[in-house]
Structure 1
Amino acid sequence: MALLTVYHGGYQAVDKPKIRASKNTKDFGTGFYCTIIKEQAQRWARRYNTKIVSIYDVKIFSELTIMEFKEMTEEWLDFIVACRSGQPHDYDIVIGAMADDQIYNYVSDYIDGTITREQFWVLAKFKYPTYQIVFCTDEALKCLNYRGFEEVR
């Protein structure tokens, strides 16, 4: 994979990313979440009083195990359901569409049996593109080269 730029939205600059276990389960499990879409990172940062987008150059090492979902598929949905249910996986990096708040409500409804899988897919249309790349292991974090940060206004 070629060199690319990724962004992480939060409340402070993160010059040394770490993987922190969270009490909340996330789409692709525990990891350091970034995106190639700057506006998406800015939306993430806007949740906080201090709004910071950290910027990184990434060169992904060939020996890492990567799961990439090029689009929302049955496999993508099953993977998110498993991760959001607390099941671990063995990937160093996971890449794919994000189940934003609205989509996650549909995932929850599907998990709870309120809607069928077919109903999920009818409802799961994004209003804007999303993309996340999650660095799930310490080895994966070595792919990141901190470039600086920007404040979101």
Structure 2
Amino acid sequence: MRLYHGSNTGINSINLAMCRPYKDFGIGFYLTDIREQAEKMAVRVAKIYGGSPVLNVFDIQDDFRELPGIKIKDFGEQTTEEWARFVMNNRNHSFDNIEDILCNQDNKYDIVIGPVADDNMALLFRQYENEIIDFQTLLKGMVYKKTSSQYSFHTEKSIRLLRKVED
């Protein structure tokens, strides 16, 4: 399976210590199986941080979900209540129940797969957290949002499954 990471730099060696915390699925290295999505992210990152857009390409064996010893949380392609709570818990700087199965701040999952919470979705999350809308309104708002795919790798053993593809 081919995965893509858009950046402003070539990445030959993945360093989890360089990854930012409080992302959708926790601190980790994020990729997508949608080339165009990664290309757009590369352009965005280059505009923000400088440099030129770079598409980093990786392969992972097709049956990685069946590998023993790899804990995977797969939300599928659709936004759900479980996915929303998971993303909100991981993004929340003051969330402290990290043992919760709907949180990956402790890297209990080696790999997490699911939709991307785009900027519109992030606005819904903020409105909910600020008690402007209730959870049911949040869920209704998520139904019509177009989502895209992300695969996040959170542990060294999951990173070792990725093989850089030379362009």
TM-score normalised to structure 2 length: 0.80
Name the CA distance, whole Å, in 1 between partners of 2:41 and 2:21.
Answer: 16
Code of the aligned partner of 2:152: V
Q: 1:82 aligns with which of 78, 81, 89?
A: 89
Where does residue 32 of structure 1 map in the other structure?
29
Q: Counterpart in 2 of 1:19?
A: 16
Answer 1 or 2: which has greater strand percent: 1
Amino acid of the structure 2 residue aligned with 1:132: Q
Deviation at 1:135, TM superposition (A): 0.3
Shift of 1:126: 2.5
2:155 partner amino acid: T
AA aligned opposite 2:41: W
Tell me the distance in 1 between the aligned counterparts of 2:166 and 2:127.
Answer: 39
Structure 2 counterpart of 1:57: 59
**Divergent runs of 4+, >6 A:** none
Q: Of the two structures, which has the highest relative contact order with CA contacts closer than 8 Å and spacing of 6 or more?
A: 1
Displacement of 1:68: 0.4
Alignment length (residue pairs): 145
For residue 93 of structure 1, what is the aligned residue in structure 2?
111
Distance 1:21 1:55 in 2: 18
Identical aligned residues as a percent = 29
- Which ranges of structure 2 fall in alignment gaps of 5 or more residues? 99-104
Larger proportion of helix:
2
TM-score (norm 1): 0.87
